[in-house]
Every structure is written in C-alpha cells, then in structure tokens.
Amino acid sequence: MPLGLIGHGLRAGRRPRRALPPEARLRPRYDVAIIGAGGHGLAAAYYLARDHGITDVAVLDKGWLGGGNTARNTTIVRSNYLTPEGVRFYDESIRLFRGLSGELDFNILYSERGHLTLAHTDAALRTMRWRAEVNKHLGVESEMVGLDELARLCPPLNLDRGARFPILGALHHKPGAIARHDAVAWGYAIAAARRGVEIHQNTEVTGILTEKGRVTGVETSRGRIACGKVLQAVAGSSSLLAAMAGFRLPIQTVPLQACVTEPLKPFLDPIVVSGSLHVYVSQSARGELVMGGPTDPYALYSQRSTLEWKEGLAAPMLALFPFLAEVRVLRQWAGLADMTPDFSPIMGLTPVQNYYIDAGWGTWGFKATPVCGKRMAETVATGKPPSPIAPFDLGRFAAFRQLGERGAASVGH
Amino acid sequence: MKILHCPLNGPRNISEFVCGGEVVEMPEAGAATDGEWADYVFGHENARGAVREWWFHVPTAYWFIAERDTGTDEILRTYPASEVFGRRPP
Ligand SMILES: Cc1cc2nc3c(=O)[nH]c(=O)nc-3n(C[C@H](O)[C@H](O)[C@H](O)COP(=O)(O)OP(=O)(O)OC[C@H]3O[C@@H](n4cnc5c(N)ncnc54)[C@H](O)[C@@H]3O)c2cc1C
C-alpha cells in the first residue's frame, strides 16, 4: 500500500492547503495590538473581529504561535470551582468549548470524560461537599460519590482501604473534559486570520509607549508600532510586560511541569485528580497518560524539567494505579505559571489607559481560553469589562475583594 | 538534587528549604497609604534575573538571605540576614 499512498499524495489537487497566510510586513500602525499569540491572545483577536468588526489587529509573539503554556498544559476543562463568580465564568467557557470545533471548522478533539477529585481526608470531603453545593446551586453538574460508585466510574483505581492514604470518596463533575490544546490555538489563529487579523511570530515586545497615562504604541524587536489599544496576554511573562507599562502585579512566576507516558490501550476514561496526594492523570486520545502535579517550589523563568518533580509524581501515582510501575515516561516538560495569591485570574483595566490585561492564569487558564478571549475582546472594544469578568479586576487586591479558589484550583488544574 | 549553601549548615539539598519571597522594606506603618500597604502585601517585583530573597532552612528553623538568578536557576550568593539587617531601628 505505501506506493499507492505516495501516488495519492502526489496527485494534483491534493496539495495541503496553507493554514495561515504568509506573514505580512509589520505595519507602522494598528488599531489594536495583542501581545502574546497563545490561546488567549488569539481567541481575543478572533472575537474582536467576529463580534465587534475590529480587524485592524496585530497579534505579536516573541516565539511561535501557541509555543507558550497553550501547548504545554494538560488540557483539563472543568467548571467545578468554589466561588460563584468562578463557577459561572468557567461554565460559560465550557458552553463555548462544546461548540468550538463547529464554530472554527477545526477539530479540537473536545472529549467529555468526567472529572473525579479524590478525597483522602475528612477535610477534603468537607471542601468537596461545599464545592458540590455551590456548583449545583449554579446549575453545574457536580456531586459527591462514594466508593461503590467510584469503582464503577473508574475500575482501575486502587480503592484498597489498607492503603497509606485510603480514598474516602470523590467529587464527580460530569462535564469535565480534555481537548487538543494546540488545535485550539491554531483554530482561533486561522479563523482570526481569515477575518483580516495579522499574526506576527518572532516579534518580541520590548517596550510599551505611553503619553499622559495612555498607551500609544509598542516597541518591538522588529520596530515600533503605533496603536490605539493594547491587550497583554503573556501568561508567565505578565509581570515583565506590566513593568514595561509601569505598574506592578500580585503575581509570581513559577514553573509547572507535566509528563506523558508511552501509549497504552484505552483503560482510563475519567480525569482523576488527587488534591491530597498532589497528582492528576488523564488518558489522551493517543493512549498516553498525561500526568501532572504541583508547581515548582520557588519562582523561576526557566522551563527546565527536574528529576525531583518526576520522583515526587511517581510515588503517589503508583498509590492510585499500582500497575503503572512498569510503564515508561516518554516526555517531560515545563511551562511558566503566573500565580496570583487567590488562585483567580486578573482581567480588565490597568493603571494605563487603553492598556488591558489578561493575566494571573497560573495553572488553570487553558479551560478559560474561549470565554476569556470573548470577554476581553468585549473589554477592548467597549473600554468596559462586562459583568462576568468585572469581579476579576486588578483592583480587587487593594480593596481586599479576593476570590479564593485555592481549594478548587491548587492541584486539579 | 540542586544544592543550596546554607550559611549555618553548609551545602544541603534544596528540598530542605522554603523560599520566603523577595526581601522588601516594610512601609512605615503610620505614614503609608492604603495603596502602598496593599502593594506591600500583594505586589511582587517578580523580576527575571538577579533577585534577593528570604530563604528558610526547615530542619534548623534558620532564616537567611539568598541571591539567585531567576532566568538561569543559579544560586549566586547566600549570607546571614545580619549582613543586611545588622542594626535594629531605634
Ligand atoms: C504543565 C502545565 C499544565 C497545565 N494544565 C492546565 C490544565 O489542565 N487546564 C487548564 O485550564 N490550564 C492548565 N495550565 C495553564 C494554562 O496552560 C495557561 O494558563 C494558559 O495556557 C495561558 O494561556 P495564554 O494564552 O494566556 O498564555 P501562553 O500560551 O503562555 O501565551 C503567552 C504568549 O506570550 C508570548 N510572550 C511573552 N512575552 C512576550 C513579549 N515580550 N513579546 C511578545 N510575546 C511575548 C509567549 O511567547 C507566549 O506564546 C497548565 C499549564 C502548564 C504549564
């Protein structure tokens, strides 16, 4: 068959179609510059064009499209958070995710697997009951399950009561899903480019130009651009960009690592998270086990992987699934998480006029890509953050209005 | 395992330590505005490059200061806090 396949590939009319137009020259002026071609920046560009007719937009990235956290995360999408503001916000994202492949005409392999957060202590059970009640009150499917139900939902899980940290129950969130993360970035990029947005890779922003407290342009490695409005969506580099614009953030940048194993036959349907043991795992469409754990213990801008992290992951993972002992790790990598003190993001206005911020996504921002893009586009277009994102403003820290999500976000991303 | 040189205990595995965050000066209680206090409590420089931080050796409950490069993950220098905070204010 291989010969036939080659012939098929060479036949006229079967040439691959170019996904993005060739990169244009950087123009001296745009209505809007978006810093960061991750999922967030690209989604914002798409919704600016689709919903607000704003297409004179340049998305600038120092590296390549989706090369930041967007294609480094473990792709968990869920809305079983703790604060009503958070639950409503992430739930809107799930609704957008469900229709995204059709909307973008690009398969993002969205797969609703169900999400299990295991409790190994009474304290964990208590937080989960609280989460389940908040979730149900807001119409989000979330319920506590006991061991019998857990054995049915996830047969390979080690429910031995004699384990060092026996499992007592779990929070079951049916809509929990995984998706192809780079497909989300490429889907938005192609759809935005089709509407006239320019995407400039290898274009690093090195300075923010302001006049009388208002942004007027950005300095880049390829020259200066004047622009009416700027959106920064740079995740791990948030504090560095904010410093260029002249303000400080309540953010620390910490590496977050993940790894995948060699592919196995499909055996694990749900996403399984253990807050107490600090690990989580799901099985990708390719059969690899995608595994993650805690962030690194100190602030750093380096995306190196460490042996300690892998060792720290292996012991608790084997407590949950002992038969994985013989399975090999294929790849390990890190991204840069922009951590806020309350484990909630920062979206909206900044001290600089017409300079908008989308930051503080820490370990949990992939799931928010559609809703954040849509709501930040609205913010940029109207100059006013719409009500679903208003509580996530930068001003909440000085006003002591934090949105504490630690109990729902510190491990299960 | 990465090694951190503790001024009290010598070279130890970095897993024995906890990072206490940037060394910053506390604003004067009576004079600071609410905004300055909030920035002191929540704000971070979060710089890439050389930083000066509090570190804590957990087994011996010893606080000291470390300078390290947050771009390269190198530890540049560690020393007792008395080098910076030698005198108490009157
Ligand atoms: C290992 C890991 C696992 C994770 N797991 C999950 C998960 O399961 N679920 C979930 O919801 N979230 C998860 N996250 C978090 C999620 O990946 C991020 O919050 C999200 O991807 C942020 O998207 P973004 O588009 O804002 O940032 P990014 O994708 O990081 O994009 C920012 C872009 O800005 C560019 N940039 C930076 N500085 C400049 C500059 N000066 N000039 C120009 N461009 C610049 C970068 O090159 C980058 O491409 C995880 C993160 C990691 C690291």
What single-letter amino acid sits at B45?
A: E
Instruction: Find chain B residues with C-beta within 8 A of A299's C-beta.
Output: 19, 46, 51, 70
Same domain, A30 and A170: no
Whether residue B43 and residue A248 make contact (CB cut-off 8 A), yes or no, is: yes
Nearest CA in chain B to A340: B42
Of B15, B44, B72, the CB nearest to A302: B72
pLDDT digit string, tens, across residues B25-40 = 899 988 999 999 999 9
Closest partner residue to A239 among B15, B44, B73, by Cβ? B44
Tell me if chain A has a CB within 8 Å of the CB of B76: no
Q: Which chain A residue has its CA at the smallest distance from B19's CA?
A: A298
Written as six digits, the tokens of A197 are: 């947005």
Confidence of residue A304 (pLDDT cuts 50, 70, 90): very high
Residue A333's CB is within 10 A of a number of other CB atoms, namely 15
Last residue in a domain, options A320, A339, A358: A339
**Alpha carbons A330 and A263: distance in angstroms, whole number:** 9
With an 8 Å Cβ cutoff, are B18 and A248 in contact? no
Q: Does the residue A83 lie in any domain? A: no
pLDDT at residue A166 is higher than 90: yes
pLDDT of residue B89: 58
Q: Is the CB of A69 under 6 A from ligand 1?
A: yes
Residues A358 and A243 in one domain: yes
Say yes or no: B1 contacts chain A, CB-CB below 8 A. yes
Residues of A in contact with B73 (CB under 8 A): 300, 302, 304
**Which ligand 1 atom minimizes the distance to the CA of A258?**
1
Domain B3-24+40-83, classified CATH 3.30.2270.10, yes or no: yes
For tokens 């060699």, the residue is A262
Mean pLDDT computed over A190-197? 97
Collapsing DSSP to helix, strand or coil, A44 comes out as: helix
**C-alpha to C-alpha distance for A363 and A412, rounded to whole angstroms:** 9
Mean pLDDT calculated for residue range A388-403 = 95
Interface contact A304, partner B, CB < 8 A: yes
Share of chain A above pLDDT 70, in %: 98
CA A335 / ligand 1 centre spacing (Å): 7
Q: Which helix (H) or strand (E) element contains residue A100?
A: helix A100-104
Contact flag B38-A397 (C-beta cutoff 8 Å): yes
Structural domain including A260 reads 112-178+253-339
More confident of the two residues A407 and A302 = A302
Write phi, then psi, for B24 (nearest 5 degrees). -130, 155
Q: How far is the CA of A337 from the centre of ligand 1 (A)?
A: 7
A interface test, pick of B42, B45, B58, B68 with most A CB neighbours within 10 Å? B42
Judgement on whether residues A257 and A325 belong to the same structural domain of the protein: yes
Instruction: Count Cβ atoms within 10 A of the Cβ of residue B32 and give its class: 0-12 exposed, 13-18 middle, 19 or more buried.
Output: middle
User: Residue A408 has what pLDDT?
Assistant: 79
- A55 CA distance to ligand 1 centroid (A)? 24
Residue A29 included in any domain: yes
* Closest CA in chain A for residue B35: A398
For residue A300, what is the domain's CATH number? 3.30.9.10
Chain A residues touching B40 at Cβ < 8 A:
none
Residue A9, in any domain of the structure: no
A118-146 confidence digits (pLDDT tens): 999 999 999 999 999 999 999 999 999 99
Is B60 an interface residue toward A (CB < 8 Å)? no
The protein residue whose alpha carbon is closest to atom 41 in ligand 1 is: A205
Residue A275 · residue A406 · CB < 8 Å: no
Q: Give the pLDDT of residue A18.
A: 84
What would the mean pLDDT of A182-190 be, rounded to a whole number? 97
B67 within 8 A of B47, measured Cβ to Cβ: no
Same domain, A310 and A166: yes
Structure tokens at A8: 């098929």
Q: What is the pLDDT of residue B50?
A: 98
User: Could you give phi then psi for residue A401, rounded to 5 degrees?
Assistant: -115, 50
Domain boundary among A281, A312, A339: A339
Distance of alpha carbon A322 from alpha carbon A298, whole angstroms: 30
Q: What percent of chain A has pLDDT over 90?
A: 91
Radius of gyration of chain B (CA): 15
Alpha-carbon distances of A164 from A122, A159, A167, A315, rounded to whole Å:
15, 11, 10, 11
The ligand 1 atom at the shortest distance from the C-alpha of residue A41 is: 25
Which tens digits make up the pLDDT trace of A281-302? 999 999 999 999 999 999 999 9
**A298: contact with B, CB 8 A cutoff:** yes
How many residues are recorded in chain B? 90
Residue A84 gets the label, from left (phi > 0), alpha (psi -120 to 50) or beta, of alpha
- Closest-CA distance, B53 to chain A, in angstroms, reads 10
Q: Which of A311, A339, A367 is the last residue of a domain?
A: A339
Residues of B in contact with A305 (CB under 8 A): none
Domain count, chain A: 2
Flag whether A223 is in a domain: yes
Q: Domain residues of chain B, as ranges?
A: 3-24+40-83
pLDDT at A355 over 60: yes
Q: How far is the CA of A129 from the centre of ligand 1 (A)?
A: 31
Residues 6+ apart with CB under 8 A from B89: none
Q: Does B42 touch chain A (CB under 8 A)?
A: yes
| Residue of A96, A225, A234 with the most ligand 1 atoms within 8 Å of its CB, for mutation | A234
Among A300, A397, A400, select the one facing B70 at the smallest CB separation: A300
- Give A375 or A2, the one with higher predicted confidence: A375
Residue-level pLDDT at A8: 77
Q: What is the pLDDT of residues A1-54, one digit of tens each?
A: 678 888 877 776 667 778 899 888 999 999 999 999 999 999 999 999 999 999
Contact between A299 and B42 using a beta-carbon 8 Å cutoff: no
Spacing, Cα A180 to ligand 1 middle (Å): 14
For the cut 60, the answer to whether the pLDDT of residue B90 exceeds it is no
Q: Is the dihedral of CA A353, A370, A175, A95 positive or negative?
A: positive
Do A30 and A173 belong to one domain? no
Q: Which atom of ligand 1 is nearest to the CA of A257?
A: 1
The pLDDT, as a whole number, for residue B88 is 63
> How confident is the model over B60-83, as a mean pLDDT?
96
Q: Residue A407's pLDDT is what?
A: 78
Q: Which of A69, A81, A331 is the best mutation target for the ligand 1 pocket, counting ligand atoms within 8 Å of the beta carbon and taking the most? A: A69
